Structure 1
Amino acid sequence: MPPQVPRNLLRAARARAVFQSTRPSRPAAVRFQSSEAVRRTQESNNVYNAPPRAFSQRKEEKFTAGTASTSQRQTPAAPLKLNSKNLSQLQNVTVPTYQREGVKQGIVHVGVGGFHRAHLAAYVDTLLEQFNVQDWSICGVDLQPFAAPMRDALKPQDNLYTIIERAAEGTTARVCGSITDYLFAPDSSEAVIAKMAHPDTHIVSMTVTESGYYMNENTHQLQTDHPDVAADLAGEQPPRTVFGYLYAAMERRHAAGLRPFTVLSCDNMQKNGDISRNMLVSFARHQNPEVADWIANNGAFPNSMVDRITPRTNDEDKVSLAENFGVEDAWPVVTEPFHQWVLEDKFVDGRPPFEKAGVQIVPDVHKVEEYEMIKLRLLNGSHSAMGYAGQLAGFTYIHEVIGHPVYRQFVINMMHQEVKPLLPQIPGVSVDDYCNTLLGRFSNPTLKDELPRICLGGSGKIPQFIMPSIAEQIVANGPLRRLTLVAAAWFRYNSGIDDAGKAFKVDDPMVDELQARAAEGPLAQLEIKTLFGNDLRDDQRFVSELKAALEGLEREGALAMIEKYA
């Protein structure tokens, strides 16, 4: 299901243009990317310069202190299985020294994938290790049967796992212990609901992807006609959606006279907290208006911006961990040194001191939105540019694409000429520095970030990361050729055939409709109103640019068109 997209993108762009022109500037509460606080990452065609891990050196040290690296490790003996019993025998990785058994699980997290384990769980691990935080470990939860492999990996390891952090200068590894319990809803949905409803649970966080919010793309309300939502509203058991579980737990807390827990979305969506609130309150209103009002009036749904590149873990990663660090881990997580989390300070029942671990706490949603816009349109927009045009040209990894001088110049010029002029100006923020940092992150050859991961779910990405910038450039009568080529590359990508005639899988929840439209003609996908609104297809300039880009991709291929537009 696509994310929140205005019915009329051009109307939304005009409204934002008016808002920006009349809005007074505000001092920045924290730095997004300040040249005073961060070692600048210089762009280079061939050399990866590691970006800062956080936006101050002090925070970087807190997050990474004591992490074992390839330069420090001893020659490992036979690898040991990762579990609590073997922790003290692991010689080449940093391991938790806090007593995991005595820490309360103040956070229940839904969706224990790679990103959660590299991001929120890593921040919490730092708090437990360095700041003696006793009430805030994590109970991980997965709701869907397809997550059974994660259950089977974590349980024998006592919910421990390894964070493999890769940079050009070396690889580090640390065992993360912040997930101290794990519940698999298909085994016991009651256990999950009871855990959320327990008085010791203060935060329920989640990474369930855009489709897990069941938001109607036209009305931006709960998609009550979706079979999963309809089943939950009808009372079928076990619940199928995250909102079925959240409501059941909230209902119990309301009946027991407890506070609501804070619902903390960690998904890569604009206004993720607001969306969470609207969907849950709407779900509750269909069940019990009194509980819905209680949630609306007493609950908290902070907005956040999250950032850390986390490729999929493969068998090669597991073998490398065993050979180089002596750890046999069924499902480690691979990530980059860089991390960022901008979080609205809106919690109803307490929170950990996240700022001690480097989280940027901001006082209101508007500040989160500004940081979020910069990140989504520069990082994710550039990822989309490299992903779809790179896949068509036969590339495999992001670092290969950005390492090609033509693609690199295209990305640089798209960022600076077509995206940067649209971004909010925050005092103390250097967007130029951030762009340079992104080039370094993209160039990291050790991550091996595969293009299929970047291209996954384009129907939920292009409307967020590319189309709003196009709409705003139409309103401003500004440059949009490169952005339009990115949209065209996605249209072409949806055919499932690259420029060499090789077939590939298009992994998208809307794949059937996208490919049916693609077969109708080059511009037919623009008719999908849920993705592109009602008005972009009527703008002659944009349609002309899109048609020219599509024809060029078909005739000349992605590499030639990227070179022409660079």
Structure 2
Amino acid sequence: MLTYEGLKTLPKNVAGPSYDVRKVTSGIVHFGVGNFFRAHLGYYVDRVLALPGQEQWGITGVGLRSGERSEKKAEEFRAQEGLYSLTEIAADGTTQIRVMGGLRDYLQAPDEPEKVLALLADKATKIISMTITEGGYNIDETTGEFRLTHPEVKEDLADPQHPKTVFGYVVEGLRRRREAGHGGLTVMSCDNLRHNGDVSRKAFVGYARAVDGELAQWIEQNVTFPNAMVDRITPSVSSEGKAKLNERSGLDDLQPLISEDFIQWVIEDKFAAGRPAFEKVGVEFSDQVSAYEHAKIRMLNSSHLILSAAGMLLGLKLVDQVLAEQPVHKFVDLMLEKDVIPTLKAPPGVDLHKYKATLLSRFSNKAMADQVARIASDATSKAQVFWTETVRAVLSEGRDRSRIVYCMALLLELLRGKTEKGETIKLEEPFLNAEQLKSAASNDFKASIALPAFDGWRDLLTPEIEQEIAQARDVIRQKGVLASLPV
């Protein structure tokens, strides 16, 4: 098991922290300690801590969920004193293994809520960060406002000093911070979400306004919400995968992690209470984050979702397996080349055609064993985030819509919950209610088009387009994915 003492005797092929982990203190509180966070923000923080004078930027992780699985994760993080190994593998097989030391503590909010709130209000905390998934910000897609009617939000609003949601915790922590005179800080989203800083501001200020108008005003004046674009493929790791990673590294790690060697983070330099020296470890600061964000979301994330939907219907498990099917590869290439790139403004200095080639190479990395089920989870929310701008551009400009229509049909077939062979697909759609799930599973094509996945472009769906979607679904049913792709 990884521990501080074990850092002294790491295997020769494993690099350890080049700084004294015991001297690191917490300046960042992070909600949602999943694999992506550990391989992305955790990676950058580990690099920063190796620089002189940066020891105050360690991370305390916070888990919001209760239950056996969450308790086990908490126990494992604590047993290893926050340490974990990251194995980076390039498409050519080049491998680097490193023990990460930036996660200094882990709290289970349901078990120790006051400790979490005290930490949020602590003067030493300068950044509150989060990875709570694209659909986790509770924004109504129709009104664009924070949903106060969500059951858990309503519970928090009824008793704001004893919160359960991330919104409740952060706002109550900020209230206590204001009362203590500790000033503002930065709330930093690390989710794959367009304008994630602006969305975060809307969510947290919207919740705060429902609690206390003066507190909401204070937050608007003293808390910053930088927009950011994050990118790194970080697959989930099964029990078998953990064993293989430990065999490769020679470690006994309870929470080993794997990722590709590619990593990117572009963020606005808007930090209310200071920040780590991220610019010295590869983070790009820019006031044009939206350009990078659009390119990444509309190219990487959109095609990732296509691959996952196709893979689930085909019964394939891994992204590289799906892309290895030539009709799928050609379709994704055409989609990016014909539908996305012509309607997308390139970020400064970025060649979108080269970026496309890089993406397809990254997706083909067999070592990632990137599971399509992971990407397909919450597909309804992801489609609204990843596809909306491209769909709107294609439909509103009168472009060839055959590929866009097919994508919509593919998504609806995924939501139906059956593979081509009729096997049940276990859907992870946390934001669909029972009636919507029933509609998705039915053969009523018109009813399923009413699902919220299409809310971002519903005003452009003419009866003719809806009929085309229904026809595309029928072709997928009759011929299967590979034979029905419009390539």
**Normalising by structure 2, what TM-score?**
0.95
Tell me the equivalent position of 1:543: 466
Tell me the equivalent position of 2:188: 264
Task: Give the Å deviation of 1:475.
Answer: 1.2
Q: Confirm whether residue 112 of structure 1 aligns to residue 36 of structure 2.
A: no
* Contact 1:108–1:204 (8 Å) recurs in 2: yes
Cα deviation, 1:373-415, whole Å, max 9, x if unaligned, reads 1111111111111111222122221101111221111111110
- The code of the aligned residue for 2:18 comes to T
Paired residues for 1:162-561 under 5 Å: 162-167=85-90, 168-235=92-159, 238-363=162-287, 367-509=288-430, 510=432, 512-518=434-440, 519-528=442-451, 531-532=454-455, 535-536=458-459, 538-561=461-484
Tell me the equivalent position of 1:103: 24
Distance 1:88 1:378, change over 3 A: same
Cα deviation, 1:13-62, whole Å, max 9, x if unaligned, reads xxxxxxxxxxxxxxxxxxxxxxxxxxxxxxxxxxxxxxxxxxxxxxxxxx
* Contact 2:391–2:457 (8 Å) recurs in 1: no
Cα deviation, 1:221-254, whole Å, max 9, x if unaligned, reads 2211111111111116641111111111111111
In structure 1, the gaps of 5 or more residues are 1-80
Distance 1:375 1:533, change over 3 A: closer
* Contact 1:390–1:451 (8 Å) recurs in 2: yes
Tell me the equivalent position of 1:47: none
Task: Give the Å deviation of 1:520.
Answer: 4.8
Distance 1:115 1:535, change over 3 A: closer
Task: Give the Å deviation of 1:173.
Answer: 1.2
* Contact 1:536–1:542 (8 Å) recurs in 2: no
* Contact 2:160–2:168 (8 Å) recurs in 1: no
Cα deviation, 1:444-469, whole Å, max 9, x if unaligned, reads 01111111111111111111222331
Task: Give the Å deviation of 1:101.
Answer: 2.0
**Distance in 1 between the 2:458 and 2:65 partners?**
38
Task: Give the Å deviation of 1:536.
Answer: 4.0
Q: Secondary structure at the match of 1:347?
A: coil
- The code of the aligned residue for 2:470 comes to K
**Distance in 2 between the 1:449 and 1:397 partners?**
5
Tell me the equivalent position of 1:40: none
**Distance in 2 between the 1:226 and 1:388 partners?**
28
**Distance in 2 between the 1:221 and 1:339 partners?**
32
**Distance in 2 between the 1:333 and 1:397 partners?**
17
Distance 1:120 1:156, change over 3 A: same
* Contact 1:163–1:173 (8 Å) recurs in 2: yes
Distance 1:359 1:513, change over 3 A: farther
* Contact 1:218–1:530 (8 Å) recurs in 2: no
Task: Give the Å deviation of 1:535.
Answer: 4.0
Tell me the equivalent position of 1:149: 72
**Distance in 2 between the 1:288 and 1:180 partners?**
33
**Distance in 1 between the 2:129 and 2:341 partners?**
32
Cα deviation, 1:141-168, whole Å, max 9, x if unaligned, reads 1121142222011101011001111223
Tell me the equivalent position of 1:88: 8
Distance 1:206 1:447, change over 3 A: same
**Distance in 1 between the 2:341 and 2:309 partners?**
21
- The code of the aligned residue for 1:433 comes to K
**Distance in 2 between the 1:469 and 1:496 partners?**
25
* Contact 1:262–1:349 (8 Å) recurs in 2: yes
Q: Confirm whether residue 158 of structure 1 aligns to residue 81 of structure 2.
A: yes
- The code of the aligned residue for 1:336 comes to E
**Distance in 2 between the 1:98 and 1:522 partners?**
58
**Distance in 2 between the 1:415 and 1:530 partners?**
21
Cα deviation, 1:483-509, whole Å, max 9, x if unaligned, reads 221111110111211111222211111
**Distance in 1 between the 2:421 and 2:26 partners?**
52
Cα deviation, 1:120-149, whole Å, max 9, x if unaligned, reads 010010111245512211111112114222
**Distance in 1 between the 2:261 and 2:457 partners?**
41
Tell me the equivalent position of 1:61: none
What CA RMSD, in Å, does the superposition of the two structures yield over aligned residues?
1.7
- The code of the aligned residue for 2:314 comes to A
Task: Give the Å deviation of 1:530.
Answer: 7.0
Identity %: 37
Task: Give the Å deviation of 1:431.
Answer: 0.5
Distance 1:172 1:369, change over 3 A: same
**Distance in 1 between the 2:452 and 2:95 partners?**
45
Which stretch of the first structure deviates more once superposed, 215-224 or 323-332?
215-224
Tell me the equivalent position of 1:126: 47
- The code of the aligned residue for 2:451 comes to I
* Contact 1:212–1:241 (8 Å) recurs in 2: no
* Contact 2:31–2:63 (8 Å) recurs in 1: yes
**Distance in 2 between the 1:524 and 1:537 partners?**
17
- Pick 1 or 2: higher relative contact order, CA cutoff 8 A, min separation 6: 1
Distance 1:212 1:292, change over 3 A: same
* Contact 1:105–1:200 (8 Å) recurs in 2: yes
Q: Secondary structure at the match of 1:145?
A: coil
Cα deviation, 1:510-545, whole Å, max 9, x if unaligned, reads 163443223151232212357425744642452243
Distance 1:269 1:397, change over 3 A: same
Distance 1:127 1:495, change over 3 A: same
**Distance in 2 between the 1:401 and 1:520 partners?**
26
In structure 2, the gaps of 5 or more residues are none
